[in-house]
A and B are shown apart, each in its own frame.
Chain A
Amino acid sequence: MDDCNEEGELAAMSNLMSGARILLECLARENVEVIFGYPGGVTLPLYDALYEHPIRHVLVRHEENASFAASGYARASGRVGVCCATSGPGATNLTTGLVDAMMDSIPVVAITGQVTSKMIGSDAFQEADTFGIMRPATKHNYLVRDVNDVARVVHEAFYIASTGRPGPVLVDITKDALQGQAHYTPVHEIHLPGYKVVTDGHAGQIRRAAQMMWEAQRPMVYAGGGIIHSGAHDELRELVELIDCPAVCTLMGLGGLPGSHPNFVSLPGMHGSYAANMGLTECDLIIALGVRFDDRVTGRLSAFAPHAKVIHVDIDPAEIGKNRAADLPIVGDLKRVIAKLIKILKELQPQAAEQSAAARQEWWRRVHGWQEEHPLEPVFGTDEIKPQQLMYEINRISDGKAIVSSDVGQHQMWAAQFIRFDAPRLWINSGGLGSMGFGLPGAVGAQMANPEATVFAIAGDGGFQMSVPELATLVNYGLPVKVIVMNNGYLGMVRQWQELFYNNRLCAVELSAFPNVELLAAAYGMKGRIVRTPAELRSALQEAMDEPGPYLMDVRVSQYENVYPMVPAGAAINEMVLAPPQPVPVGKQ
């Protein structure tokens, strides 16, 4: 510093900030509104800085739920979700939510405290090798030991989390880096020479893809989470309408095409619709958009879509050809690629479309035939509530507009089958990792992102109990989430597999001693109700909707209902079990 330049020195002095302040400054510059977190010893400097900072902090009741809530926030808003935890157990508890975000490509930035740099490696109190543990759990992760690195690293973290194929990034910061002082200079440039993102698809490939689309006689769009991440839903809709072909949306892609769209043939795969699975099996062209040919979609890979050529568009080159070879690969951002495709399709239309018109008509006739043959239809009970009926009623009341954050299991599949989503970012669920306990904290995040929206958290009686303390978060922050527990007294999906594939030897799946939710809700200071009969279901849901605050509902459904259609593990997706093979005696053997 030049001695005679007093003014400059003063300005620099005023810029001297603690690492914790710099961190919050960076978060503010990244437009972060809310942090989901849980404080602890080494993050004390951060929470001290937060005391006088406008960024909101939502105190969850378990760090795992901080990572789920950040993910729910990101899924519902498209923005980066932020979670925070202390060193050691705080950090390790974030792991499941980060792996979950990794599997579903969700932009999350996690901040964890670390013991002071001098203590690292000494097995200090609450020390864990967060950097090592999080390597495979994140898209990228950092350990910051020097206050001077905080700003650069935090901005890099947001850049990496939100660009390319999104994903979680963890920044582990030592206590001394949070406490230390540094001159804060805003970071205007990110330099990551090894981080390559291709956004514009190859023009020649796009032209060839357009030709293939017009020439195909039995084309099928297979759209996934990439559509949602890229914000390509409008483009997808236009594409599907232009080439007028049937389209399936995966579990991660629901809402990418409106659920009420006439070309939408529901979800494919293990619990997909008959028409979706038959369509994929019989089509001659798969237009794969932002999907990864996941095993839950393809069934036995060698038998998947045996007649089809594959156009595969994805922003991650490693996904292309990973499971299924692509006849025409395009690496790029879906929104841009589909927009270009549409342009070229329109140019080619006059010549190309006519030749295949008759075949296309015949193709639609077959798809409609499959839809009529085995539609996804809810089952209604008169004495007891059928789980499908519960989802049917939730669908009725939400009318394609509510946010539904689902847990993992049978209820998730029924929700995906029977609740319609007319827009992206309404269906929030843990798809790739299948993390039980996600539903309620996911709804916390979704509601924080959309304070005005109706948000349902749907969970089974198993998953609900994994994140039950977050009821306190709902009450604490006045989040009017409607928590619907689909209670069948079992870990239903595991029970279904034990019934079908393990000779009904039911082991460790019965959930007795489920708490009385009316008392539980009252204990947390919210409304709660047990619903036992089909007759009261509709009015109970209406009551939940009318309640301005959070609402907990325990819906007692048939205990032994199974999810159908079902593609058994290792089978091809056209080998669906459509209904129970025979009445199965129930209970322990």
Chain B
Amino acid sequence: MLMTISLLMENKAGAMMRVTGLLTQRGYNIESLTVARTLDPTLSRMTIGVDVDPKLRAQVIKQMNKLINVLQATDLTETPAVMRELVLLRVRSAMEHRTAILKEAEIFGARVVDSSVEGFALEVTGESEKLDEFVSVMESYGEIDVTRSGTVAVSLEQKKLRLSPPVSRTVVPAEPVSAEGR
């Protein structure tokens, strides 16, 4: 079953590798993954779609939260959340279908981002299932090229971000460094 995870993490080299590595290491296949900086440029927000047995969802979240670069991992699968995906699609089609394509595009709320004698480039956002339909409709008009962004999600619930405060370390006074030690 597809699980949607929203991650807030430090924007550090290798942080993404830790997240994807963790999933691969534990035998899960990543279906989609998006990541970008947040308003705070030191942090990134990641949305992951991953195939996980529902019984193991809590375990995956716990493992994610153990990663030191991860500030918060949230399971959005069954909580109120808005999920959207972007599709960029190029359709090559004969002249007689152009009007029909534009009509279909309008139905799905798609925008034309490029138009040429060969066809259109269209842009549409929506829920993934809706986009599947859009893609198959467009396919009926001719050859298509599709790029999908993967789902991005935002939780509709307020979840408090719990961060660890700085810890003061009892540092021992440095021993005088001498050459006699050896």
Which residues of A are interface residues toward B (Cβ below 8 A)? 25, 28-31, 51-56, 131-132, 135-136, 139-140, 143, 155, 159-160, 186-197, 316-318, 321-322
Contact = CB atoms under 8 A, between A and B. Distances in A.
B136 interface: no
Interface of B: 9-10, 13-14, 17-18, 21, 25, 58-59, 62-63, 65-72, 162-164, 166-169, 171-172, 174-175, 177-182
Q: Is the interface of B mostly helix, strand, loop or mixed?
A: loop
Contact of A51 (B65, B180, B182): B182
Contacts of A159: 167, 169
A363 B18 CA distance: 48
A29 B162 contact: no
B171 A188 contact: yes
Contacts of A317: 62, 65
Nearest to B67: A194
Contacts, number: 97
- Rank and list the top 3 A-B pairs by shortest CB-CB distance, nearest first: A54-B181, A318-B62, A193-B163
A54 B162 CA distance: 42
B81 to A, nearest CB: 22
A189 B164 contact: no
Nearest to B166: A191
Nearest to A319: B62
Given A135-B17, A195-B164, A322 B59 contact: yes
Contacts of B69: 194
Contact of A54 (B25, B163, B175): B175
B21 A136 contact: yes
Contacts of A55: 181
Nearest to A49: B177
Contact of B17 (A132, A155, A192, A196): A132
A135 B164 contact: no
Nearest to A320: B62
Contacts of A56: 181
A33 to B, nearest CB: 11
A188 B168 CA distance: 6
A318 B182 contact: no
A188 B169 contact: yes
A139 B63 CA distance: 12
B167 A190 contact: yes
A190 B168 CA distance: 6
Contacts of A51: 182
A190 B166 contact: yes
Contacts of B17: 132, 135
A187 B164 contact: no
Given A135-B18, A193-B71, A28 B174 contact: yes
Contacts of A30: 172
Given A135-B18, A321-B58, A53 B177 contact: yes
B66 A318 contact: yes
Given A140-B68, A194-B68, A155 B181 contact: no
Nearest to A135: B21
Contacts of B13: 143
A13 B174 CA distance: 18
A53 B71 contact: no
Contact of A28 (B67, B163, B175): B175
A29 B163 contact: no
Contacts of B18: 135
B163 A143 contact: no
Contacts of B62: 317-318
A29 B174 contact: yes
B158 to A, nearest CB: 19
Given A194-B10, A194-B69, A54 B166 contact: no
B174 A25 contact: yes
A196 B21 CA distance: 20
B66 A54 contact: no
Given A55-B181, A135-B14, A135-B21, A193 B164 contact: yes
A31 B175 CA distance: 10
19 contacts: A28-B175, A30-B172, A54-B182, A132-B14, A135-B14, A186-B174, A189-B166, A189-B168, A190-B168, A190-B169, A191-B166, A192-B164, A193-B71, A193-B164, A196-B162, A316-B66, A317-B65, A321-B58, A321-B59
